[in-house]
Amino acid sequence: MKVGEVICGDEPITLNAGRATKQIRVTNKGDRPVQVGSHFHFFEVNRALSFDRAEAFGYRLDIPSGNSVRFEPGEEKLVNLVELGGAKRVFGLNDLTRGEAVPRNLATSMEKARRRGFLDYREGPATGFPEGWDNDIEEAR
């Protein structure tokens, strides 16, 4: 063995094995291209991207590390998302989550997104909740 040498196994590597995945439709309603990196909490991406933000809460793009997806103005595409790993703590970015991306924090994050003009799939402020999630938005205030 040499210093810095990498020894790879013979078996193929499966990315994100065992994690929940989903597919959502995204439309860029803005006038500029938007590029989203592999590990960005998809819920918090650019406010001009219209999609079901509640469905994307706690998920990121299901692409290899270091890659990204580009959305041209007016472009609509389906993207695959994968559940965040670890403690699902999200800080910074657009500061919509500021904590764990788990169901009990969705209402607060959706309210922040709505107030700040982030679009969702209804073409308006983010308001949607996936079935089975607590949808009492008043709790967030």
Answer yes or no: is pLDDT of 139 > 50.
no
- Give the H or E element holding residue 70: strand 68-71
What is the tens place of the pLDDT at every residue in 51-68? 999 999 999 999 999 999
Q: Is residue 43 part of a domain?
A: yes
User: What distance in Å separates the CA atoms of residue 101 and residue 107, rounded to the nearest whole number?
Assistant: 11
- Average per-residue pLDDT for the chain: 87
Q: Is residue 116 part of a domain?
A: yes
Q: Is residue 118 part of a domain?
A: yes
Structural domain that includes position 65: 21-127
CATH number of residue 95's parent domain: 2.10.150.10
User: What distance in Å separates the CA atoms of residue 38 and residue 52, rounded to the nearest whole number?
Assistant: 18
What pTM was estimated for this model as a whole? 0.79
Give the chain's domain count: 1
Tokens standing for 110? 């959706």
Mean pLDDT of 17-29: 94
User: What distance in Å separates the CA atoms of residue 32 and residue 48, rounded to the nearest whole number?
Assistant: 9
Instruction: Assess contact for 116 and 73: CB atoms under 8 A.
Output: no
